[in-house]
Amino acid sequence: MVVAANPLAVQAGLEILRQGGTAVDAAVAVQAVLGLSEPQSSGMAGGAFMLLAEPGGKLTTYDGREVAGAAVTPTLFIGADGKPMPFLDTLPQGRAVGVPGVVAMLAQAHAAHGKLPWNNLFKPAIDLADAGVPAWPRMVGVLTEWQRMLGKAPDLQRVYYREGGRPPALGERIPMPEQALSLRLLAAAGPDAFYRGPIAKAIVSRLQQAAGDSGTPVLTLEDMANYKAVERDGICMPYRVWKVCGMAPPSAGGVAILQILGMLSHYDLRAMGKDDPKAWHLLMEASRRAHADREAHVGDPDKVPVPTRGLIDAGYIGSRAAGIDPARAATGPVPPGEPPFRTGALFPAADGPDIPSTTHFSIIDGEGRMVSMTSSVEFAFGSGLIAGGFVLNNQMTDFTFVPTKDGKPVANAPGPGKRPRSSMAPTVVFDQKGNPVLAVGSPGGTAIIGYVAEALVAMLDWDLDPQAAVNLPILLNRNGATQIESAPAADNLASALTAMGHQVKRENVNSGIHIIRVTPAGIQGGADPRRDGIAAGD
């Protein structure tokens, strides 16, 4: 089964599985097609995290997050006036582009866990690029909604907008000759084509052109050649009768979700049920505290000390849960805690833009291996720059723009060779026998944490199937107001939570939750109706 944000990507993954490919093989094909059919969200010039869960309890996690070039300094986003640059000003000159990690990560995972030849995995994407990509509703919606900004980007204007500057019509085919050529190079020569060959040269050349006379490009050929994906230890925690596992830092999402579940484990949410406002209140208050810790403590563990063990320590989480009033919302933001195993000073919280333009897909193969992978170019169509047909990311804007606060260093400040903090949170769940039974994740910027935590509670506490879980109204708290999806089904919850002291805001959400769950009755999938995706399998 494959669950992803676009039917063409799902079909590509299923085609690989039917050929006897593994979940990792299918992931390569799915991502290659998503870069064509959902370019506003992810692509080969972006970054990703992947979890691979295998029967017997084995978990492998891959960090394909972008890294900053060697010339990047903590003042990357400080303007000539000494003030933080406006977000949109960081895009045209390419200073927000990091060394892409998707290709290296997929190649590393495939070398260890693939069965089919690498070049075979690109055939669905190459065929699609040759035929032209049909414009899907979400792509057209983004190109239309953001036309005043995206339409000013010459590369996007050339590739995605039609004659007269209009967005493509639904179903209209968009020619992709440049990306077709690059995909052929990738298929034939592997990751070297991307990091040392013609694609690397195209990326650096485009960034040199974007920088112009006003500055030096943020990436060099040496930066591209030096990129390494990282196999990291996953982080896991028991929840009820399951073991829930996520991505370790620089993902802040995995830590935060485990913290939320750990706090909720002190309460009987099953007895409360999905319609009880008290259960949602507890979820919001746990989320509030997890976000406070996320902001204060998490950065790139290769560059700054991150107390990962302490943040998910049972005693520490118990102390955070003890601060929750079961009947009343906290007034104002909750301060971060001081977890054990912390080294050095507490990193002050500092806000940076975290724009939700990402994708997630889940895969299970015939031998029970599950992939949960979240991938992103950060903003809608990333930096707005295109090289070799690929939309270049702007993930460096996930760094905090101001590198110090109150005279103290910020954990997520820019730095050479550094990975920015991410909220991406691919998640897997093992049963008591050590078999993977659930893969889940979502796009959505910092809201990913709430989306995934809610889906896990819906399935593990309230026994909802995956589709029912993603159909629930979304509730979020990021250590501020409680955001409730503008859906009639949430009206009663909004009133009840307001009465409990929550500052409620009703708004649309940007989730794309995609789930696979293994049950005694068979394999179930859930695709978020808020996107273009489907769940399908044999």
Q: Tell me whether residue 41 is annotated as binding.
A: no
Do 510 and 519 form a contact (C-beta atoms < 8 A)? no
For every residue of 154-176, which 3-state class applies, written as one string?
Answer: HHHHHHCCCHHHCCCCCCCEECC
Q: Which of 37, 31, 97, 30 is nearest to 379 (CA)?
A: 97
Peptide bond into 348 cis (omega under 30): no
Q: Is 519 a catalytic residue?
A: no
Spatial separation of the C-alpha atoms in residues 76 and 90, rounded to whole Å: 9
In which residue are the tokens 């995609």 written? 514
Q: Tell me whether residue 315 is annotated as binding.
A: no
Q: Tell me whether residue 366 is annotated as binding.
A: no
Q: What one-letter code names the amino acid at 35?
A: G
CB-side neighbour CA atoms (13 Å) of 100: 31
For every residue of 272-305, which 3-state class applies, written as one string?
Answer: HCCCCHHHHHHHHHHHHHHHHHHHHHCCCCCCCC
Rounded to the nearest 5°, which phi and psi values hold at 264? Answer: -70, -20
Strand order in the sheet with 242-246: 235-239, 242-246, 427-430, 436-441, 514-519, 522-527
Q: Tell me whether residue 445 is annotated as binding.
A: yes
- Which residues, in sequence order, are CB contacts of 238 under 8 Å at separation 6+? 244
Q: Tell me whether residue 422 is annotated as binding.
A: yes
Q: Which of 535, 494, 50, 458 is nearest to 274 (CA)?
A: 458
Give Cα 34 to chain centroid, integer Å: 14
Which is the catalytic residue, given 90, 358, 359, 374?
A: 358
Q: Three-class SS of residue 409?
A: strand
Residues forming the active site: 358
Residues making up the annotated binding site for L-glutamate are: 65, 398, 422-423, 445
Residues making up the annotated binding site are: 65, 398, 422-423, 445
